[in-house]
A and B are shown apart, each in its own frame.
Chain A
């Protein structure tokens, strides 16, 4: 892996401080008497948890951070030693392995045991099994929030009612019990109002990639941009500040005609504009990214940055309809949408962002993303007339990242795009 030092902008430093601060707050939680709730990124209810002064812990984030810090292989091996199949989600195994080895967070601080497992069952079957497994380990209560799948891409009123009723009858009473506080809707509204500021700025940042050259990479850079809003900081003043700072930085890059910032500084000439479907590989994240920017390939839109909400398609949390809006948020997350909706979204990205091509990174761990991607590839090729690329890796299991193979595929794909471009010019 590259040992280049990373060029840090203010927003990066800010995010680093925020994340470190959150892990430190989690480490202090038991002695300070603060309660923690483990929950998932898609369909997370951060504002609601914060309104009870509860601290969220996101096991997916811990797993991906462990992957980036080269800790996941050991954790996965540990979980497999305890009988977890080699076939299943490596996020789950990474999390269980981390727990078995003392529950030390990726930043080296102690993670507290959960006081509650908030099972936001949104877009991923594995979530249910994951928290059932954790329930056995921690012997703590679980609040289940079943979010109906949007097979036809529409939010049906009775689906919203179902989620709202679960919030009222299951989730909120459980949060009241754990926290010892009464539900305070005004506090929730205030938090949701802050969410909107951050959401507006995030959308502006993501849509800045419509410019040529794009000032951002909406996949490799995008995963950093979504970090605060998809995790513990939506609805917080820190979250608002982060996105304001980030937007200002991107505005400056746009004014200066600069491309995305990469671990090796500003990217050179933008040669290819790509849309990417699927999560990234975390264990070789920088190496993976380098394969793109070395070739002048910029990702201008991605589906992964929508797993925690499709803000760019107009959704905003609504302080005037707090629970209804949380319900709609949960239902609208990317992996909770039927495949036809996912194809439509990607098609619109390819067109709106003037992409030269699109690529699917299919990860072994995640059937929610991966099952059906080969058909999505065909559908997108047929609808746009643009050939797609297909690579395979995994989330946090380094055994499934075949560097030479992936690099070869990316280069071959980009060469093909180049050739097609040349053919067009000559035609």
Chain B
């Protein structure tokens, strides 16, 4: 690896491994009065925080790098892992740098965690972000506008400054650039997954959890520029697969590496989906709150936690397979993840109708043994290649 890219990857890796949120502390210390607010998966309107001068910080649990000492005492064995490591992060003081937490609507566990936060950390700002499941502008849109106005009022008080329309327009433009860079990266990986391996791309995506969007966009742009210069990144006889089910509790990095080593090029995924929730640009001109509402109603990605009035669950996955010329789908969901696991039979039915191959397994964010997964993914990849050649 050339030194410039090596440095860049090293930086992204450091940010990924930093459970103490040092980057956030540094950012806050750089100017007096700066605030940071954490948010859990999946979608929150980060533009509003940015417009208030607040740093939105993605909180995704502790992964496989955190020993759970107190967090387990708050959850039964049949609850997924991300809330226990998130509570552990907070109880160990690692999240003290945050001035508040947003809990988006993704499932009952994260929803209830919002109430737990209120009780565990009285006095801290906590808000449950209940996005509309009705997409009529006059109904769901009107409700979402009021919710955004309420959030805007809260952020104004927290930041100690009003959020002006021009501030919000500027933030929308900044996040449009960020989403555009991510889209370009995903497209580039889809074309040449050997140039942008997912185990690397993921680190750069994760960096967006703790960096200001302007800085994150620049990081992504540099990666897009430097990765193709690596001459030893050659195409291999791998299968092209789409990964599904990882939108909330994140897999350990080792799992992504394992899949690639097992012969799978990941050409699309739902990792860190909140950053890519809006599939297009948000209109910058005009009423910025109205533009955020419209974008949510019309450009939200298809995923388990969003109701689909049309009822064609699985269509977006089939389209992803087709668009990315994938040869199969790996359902890779966290254990006890209701949204992902309840969705799976519907997605499988859609794939079966199109004769698209698939396999499935579960993980936990602290999974440490990958031998079985490597074997299963390897066999799946082999079967695709053998089947394709037949």
Give residues in A with beta carbon < 8 Å to B: 82-85, 87-89, 92, 121, 124-126, 128-130, 132-133, 135-136, 142, 144, 146, 148-149, 151, 158-159, 161-162, 165-166, 169-170, 338-340, 342-343, 362, 364, 367-368, 370-375, 379, 392
Tell me, in angstroms, the Cα distance from A148 to B138 when the chains sit together. Answer: 16
Q: Chain A contacts of B109 at CB under 8 A?
A: 367, 371
Which residues, 80 to 104 on B, are CB-close (under 8 Å) to A? Answer: 83
Whether, in the assembled complex, B291 has its beta carbon less than 8 Å from a beta carbon of chain A, the answer is no
Find out whether the CB atom of B116 lies under 8 angstroms from the CB atom of A169: no
Tell me, in angstroms, the Cα distance from A15 to B5 when the chains sit together. Answer: 73
Find out whether the CB atom of B116 lies under 8 angstroms from the CB atom of A364: no
Find out whether the CB atom of B138 lies under 8 angstroms from the CB atom of A165: yes
Identify which of B111, B112, B309, B346 contacts A144 (C-beta below 8 A): B309
Find out whether the CB atom of A124 lies under 8 angstroms from the CB atom of B142: no
Find out whether the CB atom of B113 lies under 8 angstroms from the CB atom of A371: yes
Find out whether the CB atom of B304 lies under 8 angstroms from the CB atom of A375: no
Tell me, in angstroms, the Cα distance from A161 to B116 when the chains sit together. Answer: 28
Find out whether the CB atom of B342 lies under 8 angstroms from the CB atom of A129: yes
Known: A88-B338, A372-B113, A375-B120. 9 other contacts (CB 8 A): A87-B337, A121-B133, A128-B133, A142-B311, A158-B146, A165-B138, A169-B136, A170-B139, A372-B116
A interface secondary structure, majority: helix
Question: B83 CB to closest chain A CB, in angstroms?
Answer: 7
Find out whether the CB atom of B74 lies under 8 angstroms from the CB atom of A148: no
Nearest opposing residue in chain B for A128, CB measure: B307
Known: A125-B111, A166-B139, A372-B115. A136 touches B76 (CB 8 A): no
Question: A203 CB to closest chain B CB, in angstroms?
Answer: 26
Tell me, in angstroms, the Cα distance from A142 to B142 when the chains sit together. Answer: 22
Q: Chain A contacts of B344 at CB under 8 A?
A: 83, 85
Max chain A Cβ within 10 angstroms of own Cβ: one of B75, B127, B305, B335: B75
The 8 closest A-B pairs by CB, nearest first: A339-B115, A129-B342, A162-B143, A146-B133, A151-B128, A367-B108, A85-B341, A371-B112
Whether, in the assembled complex, B328 has its beta carbon less than 8 Å from a beta carbon of chain A, the answer is no
B interface secondary structure, majority: helix
Q: Chain A contacts of B146 at CB under 8 A?
A: 158
Question: B388 CB to closest chain A CB, in angstroms?
Answer: 24
Max chain B Cβ within 10 angstroms of own Cβ: one of A121, A129, A142, A170: A129
Which residues, 117 to 138 on B, are CB-close (under 8 Å) to A? Answer: 118-120, 127-128, 130, 132-134, 136, 138
Find out whether the CB atom of B79 lies under 8 angstroms from the CB atom of A125: no
Number of A-B contacts (CB under 8 A): 155
Find out whether the CB atom of A144 lies under 8 angstroms from the CB atom of B307: yes
Tell me, in angstroms, the Cα distance from A241 to B305 when the chains sit together. Answer: 42
Identify which of A125, A170, A375 contacts B338 (C-beta below 8 A): A125
Tell me, in angstroms, the Cα distance from A233 to B79 when the chains sit together. Answer: 35
Find out whether the CB atom of B75 lies under 8 angstroms from the CB atom of A158: no
Q: Can you list 24 A-B contacts (CB < 8 A)?
A: A87-B341, A87-B362, A125-B305, A125-B339, A126-B338, A128-B133, A135-B311, A136-B346, A142-B311, A149-B128, A149-B130, A151-B114, A158-B147, A162-B132, A166-B139, A170-B139, A339-B112, A340-B115, A367-B338, A368-B112, A371-B75, A371-B112, A372-B112, A372-B116
Question: B229 CB to closest chain A CB, in angstroms?
Answer: 44
Question: A241 CB to closest chain B CB, in angstroms?
Answer: 37
Tell me, in angstroms, the Cα distance from A92 to B342 when the chains sit together. Answer: 9
Tell me, in angstroms, the Cα distance from A165 to B141 when the chains sit together. Answer: 11
Question: B42 CB to closest chain A CB, in angstroms?
Answer: 12
Whether, in the assembled complex, B140 has its beta carbon less than 8 Å from a beta carbon of chain A, the answer is yes
Whether, in the assembled complex, B370 has its beta carbon less than 8 Å from a beta carbon of chain A, the answer is no
Identify which of A161, A368, A374 contacts B74 (C-beta below 8 A): A374
Find out whether the CB atom of B341 lies under 8 angstroms from the CB atom of A392: no
